[in-house]
Amino acid sequence: MLEGSPAYPATFSFDPPEHVANWRPLLQWLLVFPHYVVLYALNIASQIVGLVSWFAIVFTGKMPEGLATFQVMYIRYAARTYSYLGFMREEYPPFSFATTAADPGDDPRVRVDVQPALTDRNRLTVAFRFILAIPQAVALMFVGLALYFVYLVAFFVVLFTGHWTDGLRDFVIGVFRWYIRFLAYVLLLTDRYPPFAFDD
Residue-wise pLDDT for 36-74, tens only, equals 999 999 999 999 999 999 999 999 999 999 999 999 999
* SS3 call for 160: helix
Residue 176: predicted pLDDT: 97
pTM of the model: 0.94
- For range 180-196, the mean pLDDT: 97
pLDDT tier at 199, thresholds 50, 70, 90: confident
Query: Distance (Å, rounded) from C-alpha 90 to C-alpha 23?
Result: 11
* SS3 call for 109: coil
Query: Distance (Å, rounded) from C-alpha 79 to C-alpha 85?
Result: 10
pLDDT tier at 6, thresholds 50, 70, 90: confident
| Degrees, nearest 5: CA angle 179-100-66 | 95
pLDDT tier at 155, thresholds 50, 70, 90: very high
Task: Please report, in angstroms and rounded to a whole number, the separation of the first and last CA atoms in the chain.
Answer: 6
Tens of pLDDT along 8-28? 999 999 999 999 999 999 999
Query: Distance (Å, rounded) from C-alpha 71 to C-alpha 78?
Result: 11
Residue 74 backbone dihedrals phi, psi, to 5 degrees: -60, -45
Positive or negative, the CA dihedral 22, 92, 178, 111 is: negative
- The percent helix, strand, coil of the chain (3-state, each to 5) is 60, 5, 40
